[in-house]
Structures are given as structure tokens and as C-alpha cells.
Amino acid sequence: MNTFDFLMQGIAVATMPMNLLYALIGVTLGTAVGVLPGIGPALTVALLLPVTYRLDPAGSLIMFAGIYYGGMYGGSTTSILLNTPGESASIVTALEGNKMARAGRGGPALATAAIGSFVAGLLATLALAFVAPWVVSFALAFGPREYFALMVLAFVTVSATFGDSTLRGLTSLFLGLALGIFGIDQQTGQARMTFGVPDLLDGIEVTTLAVAMFAIGETLYVAAQGSRVAEKVEAVRGSIWMTATDWARSWKAWLRGTLIGFPIGAMPAGGADVASFLSYAAEKRASKHKHEFGKGAIEGVAGPEAANNASAAGTLVPLLTLGLPTTATAAIMLAGFQQYGLQPGPLLFTSNPQLVWGLIASLLIANFMLLILNLPLIGLWVRLLTIPKPWLYGGILLFATLGTIGANPSLVELGMLLVFGLLGYGLRVFGFPIAPVVVGLILGPMAEQHLRRALAISQGDPIVLLTSPISATLLGLAAVALILPMVLRAMGRGKALSQLASDSD
């Protein structure tokens, strides 16, 4: 069967009435939670994970796909109307979008973001469907050392390449790696770092860490700022429809954004934030209305929003084909897979094709649902933005603890939630990025297994990592991605890199 047949089969799975309902619930919940200020897609996915606990794997992943795309859409609404982006990938959207909203053009800004996200989501999901089998055929030849090298590359790009400090990125990464040691060693069955506490034998849950760091850490951080930051929700005045000029200025930006976003997401080269910054720069250069940039240029919303969504679909390429998460959101999705004992990777495509293709097809369907759901319901989403801060964060903590209490209400687990929440707060105060901790926790033990398998084959000789051309190339790339930014920063040219900082997703 070729990709097209598989995709058709997937669509058959995804359009079963129950699965359509799951997708609808997913996109609605995802948008509703994603709209709330301060909540990005990573937290949306982590908070809503308990909702899917009792479903079968296919239904759960389909709902998950809806939550993921819905969370992305919701984030753009927040940044346009509130100017406090819930996720770093939406910062650029806030730049132009909030200016448009202030000028009474909030409607067209929301519309170009929604339609741009739809176009990008559609094209990028199709690209995912066609690229994934190709990567899988390539990845089937990968052995432990290639996987290890790939993970090292992902570690470096997630932690050290972007952001304003190699030191703090690496520190976050190694904190995550250290947390990954906790629990029973998968090869010898020996307990590591458990200090006699039975609850620690299973290791530290990725969802516990992610919810603690993103929800509790963020709440503590916002609370500690006091009432210094005043927020104003911009009302959507006038027509929400785009004019002919808006369309003419938007469509090229959507396509350019998709072209920039998808490859960046698909390669382990940083998350959606990088893509949206690059797209913004590209639009500024290509626009005939340069003077409007900074004052509410519609291309500056259309391009980055498209790039943002295209890169979100792109991150699913390494996640599904290699089991390699390159963003915090992807790391939590991987945890979602693992709760059903599913390990994404090339084998999942052969052992469970209905599931994988059902998931890809439901992404397409979620995308259509969001377009239909979002434009008419925009008034409802706007009302969610006006929830007063004390109630909002009280509710966030309610749902943050709900997941842990539902999964495992032990004292140790809830204590970890609190401790990691405080850690997340401390990391924010001192400017450490959060995503590398989450990615390090989930990817660290996997990288260790691959390294040990590779070294067991070579009887402990580390040179084996460099004798495979693929793994040598990947490790070389990782070294460049680590050293080059340090050199650039030392030369005082790191400004562009710190602008691309991944601070939340």
C-alpha cells in the first residue's frame, strides 16, 4: 500500500462517529484551555491528559491530536487580544496582532490567524503524511548508536543552540537528565536514586514534572510579580471578516510561513518559536508595507501564525517516526503514548498502522473542525479571557492537581508536584529555560539505553559511535550546534539567538 491508501484508511478510522466526537471534544477543550492567558500548548496537553486516561488508545490519541491543535489556535487568540502570549511561539503574533486589535482590526487579525493556521495545518499535516513513511524507511536502518547520536543532537538544539545562555540551557538539560536517573534501571533492574522510597521506583512521571513546572511554576511566578502588570483585553470591534486587501496580503504570508515552519519543526532544530521569528523576519523583508510593521501589519500575523502551526505538525515527524520529542509539548505527547505501552518509532508504523494513520487523519479533521468552530465562537473565547486572575489561577491549580490526584494520589507524588513547582518557579526567576528539563527527563533514559546497547555491542569501546557515518555526522552537527552559538555570543552577536529563546514551549 502507498501513503495515499494508508491515509484513506486513516480517514476511515478517524471519521467513525465515536472518533469524530473525541476529536470534537479535543479541539473544544484544547481551544478553551489554550485561550486562557498564561497557558501554552504544552500545559494544555499536560492538563488535559487525565481526560484521556479512560479511553482506548486510538480514541485517546485522536482526542489528543485535537487538544494539541486546539491549544495552538487558542494561544493566538490570547496574544492578539491580550498581548500576553501564553506561549513563546505566539510572541510574534502579539507584536503585530495586538496592535491591530488596538486599532480596531482585531477581527481580521483573528481571522487571518485562524485561516492561516488552517492552511498551514492542512499543508503541513499532508506533508507529515508523505514525509513520515520516507523517514521511517530511513530510520529502520538506524541502530542504537544512530539513535543515541540523534538524541544528543536533540539535547543540544533544545537546550544550548537558542536562548540567551548556553550555561543556563545546559543546566536545565542536565537537571532533566538527573531526574531521569531516578527509578529502576531498565537493563539490570537495580534501583537508582530511590533512597528507599518505593514510590520512586517507577521514576519521575513526565506529566507530573510538566504540570508542576508549567502550571504551578507559572502560577507562582505570576503571583510573585504582584499587581505590577496591568492587562487589558481588547474588544473585537467592527467586522471580523477580512477585506479583499487583507486576503491579498495574507495568502502569500501563509504559504511562506508554512514553508518555513514545517522543515524547522521536522528537523530537531528548535520549536515553533524559532519558526515564527524567522517567518516574521521574512515577512518584514518581503512586504511592500514595511512602514506598517510594528504598527499592526497583517502579514506579521499571518506568516508567523502559519509558521507556528506548520512547525507544530512538523514536530510530529520526529516524534512519530523516531520517537524523538523536540519540544516540551512533544515530550508530553510521548508520555501520552507511553501510558498505553506504545513506543512511537518506525516499528509503530508497521505494528499499528491504523493507529498512526488514524492519528494523522484526525489531525486533518481537527483542523477543519477548528476553522468551523473558531470563527463563529470567537465571542465565547473572548469572554474566557476576561476571567479575573485570582479565579483563573485558582482554576489552573485545581486542574493541575486533578491529574496527579487521579493518577496516583500518594503523598510522594503530590509532594513532588509541589517541589517541582517551586523548582519551576526558581528556574523562571533566574532565567533558566523549562523545556530542556522536560525533554531531558523523557529522552535521557532512552538515550542511556541506546548508548549502553551500542557500547555493549562494541564491548565498551566508545569509538564505535564515530565509525558509523550517520552517527558521526549527527554528533558532528551536535558539536557545531553547541559551539557555534557560544562563539557568536562571545563575539557579541548573540542577540538574534536570545530573541529566539524558548522560554516556555
Q: Specify the residue, 60 or 90, whose C-beta has the smaller distance to another protein.
A: 60
CA 55 to CA 61: how far, in whole Å? 9
CB of 491 to another protein, least distance (A): 16
Least CB distance to another protein at residue 359 (A): 21
Minimal distance, residue 53 CB to another protein, in Å: 6
Q: In this structure, is the dihedral angle defined by the CA atoms of residues 54, 58, 63 and 68, taken in order, positive or negative?
A: positive
| Residue from 101, 104, 56 nearest 76 by CA | 101
Please state the closest distance from residue 168 (CB atom) to another protein, in A: 8
Q: Which residues of this protein are in contact with another protein, per CB under 8 A?
A: 50-51, 53-54, 164, 167, 170-171, 174-175, 177-178, 181, 185, 187-188, 190, 192-193, 195, 216, 219-220, 222-227, 389-391, 393-395, 397-399, 401-402, 405-406, 409, 411, 414-415, 417-419, 421-423, 425-426, 429-431, 444, 448, 451-452, 455-456, 459-460
- What is the sign, positive or negative, of the torsion defined by CA atoms of 338, 482, 428, 228? negative
Helix ranges (H only) for 157-200 are 166-181
Question: SS3 helix, strand, coil % of the chain, rounded to 5?
Answer: 75, 0, 25
Gap between the Cα atoms of 210 and 329, Å rounded: 9
Distance CA(399)–CA(414), nearest Å, equals: 13
Nearer to another protein, 405 or 472 (CB): 405
C-beta closer to another protein: residue 214 or 399: 399
Residue 226 DSSP code: T
Cβ at position 85, least distance to another protein in Å: 18
Nearer to another protein, 159 or 258 (CB): 159
Cβ distance to another protein smaller for residue 82 or 312: 82
Residue 187 or 473 having the CB closest to another protein? 187
Give the Cα separation of 151 and 145 in Å (integer).
10
When the beta carbons of 163 and 345 are compared against another protein, the nearer one is 163
Instruction: Give me the least distance between CB of 166 and another protein, in Å please.
Output: 9
d(CA 104, CA 115) in angstroms, rounded, equals 19
Provide the minimum distance between the beta carbon of 421 and another protein in the complex, in angstroms, as a whole number. Answer: 7
Side-chain-side CA neighbours of residue 227 (13 Å): 2
